[in-house]
Amino acid sequence: METNILYTHKELVEKSKLGNRNAQYNLYEYYVDAMYNVAMRMVRIKEDAEDVVQDSFVEAFKNLSSFRYESTFGSWLKRIVVNKSVNHLKLRKIPIVPIENEMYRIKDDVEEEVQQADTKKVIKGISLLPAGYQQIINLYLIEGYDHVEIGEILGITESTSKSQYHRAKKKLIDIINGL
């Protein structure tokens, strides 16, 4: 029997839509750690990440009726966390600095030059990029969003996202080659 991944935790989601607090708590328990990690990569301050996650769950449960299983619940919630993180940083006027000394799995389709580079060099290189480039690299390579989604998240066009990504990638390769 094949299971459709879009319906993961469907019973909990449906009960949560009806206001069942136990189901909401169970969904929270399933996703809180992953969402905290997403928020930490974006906002970099423990307390701020905790606030972002809490606000994200509150918003998710308030708007659960709009969840239509077009994606997994986790993907839908992650989008809320990323948007809340970006908005949090905009309000504080702090540049997004998604990576410093941590190890992350980087999306498979990175160009060969970056694939062959030492992960530490990549992380160091990303940290040396301008804030806007870091934002695009983080959302595309680390978080796995496509350019349409990045455009929606950042309020830019898809073509702007693509061009910024290509410029950021070129600059990152130059930086890595110089390290």
Q: What is the SS3 string spanning 127-153? A: HHCCHHHHHHHHHHHHCCCCHHHHHHH
Residue 107 belongs to some domain of the structure = no
pLDDT for the residue 6: 65
**What pLDDT is attached to residue 102?**
47
Residue finishing a domain among 57, 92, 127? 92
Q: Are residues 73 and 23 in the same domain?
A: yes
Token output for 168: 């950021």
Query: Is 2 within the bounds of a domain?
Result: no
Residue 70: which CATH number?
1.10.1740.10
The token pair that represents 111 in the structure block? 């160009």
Its pTM stands at 0.62
Does residue 44 sit within a domain? yes
For 48, 132, 137, 141, 156, the CA distances from 93, given in Å and listed in that order, are 14, 13, 19, 23, 18
Rg (CA), the chain: 18
Low-confidence ranges of the chain (pLDDT < 70): 1-6, 93-118
Residues 85, 122, single domain; the answer is: no
Note whether 166 and 120 are same-domain residues: yes
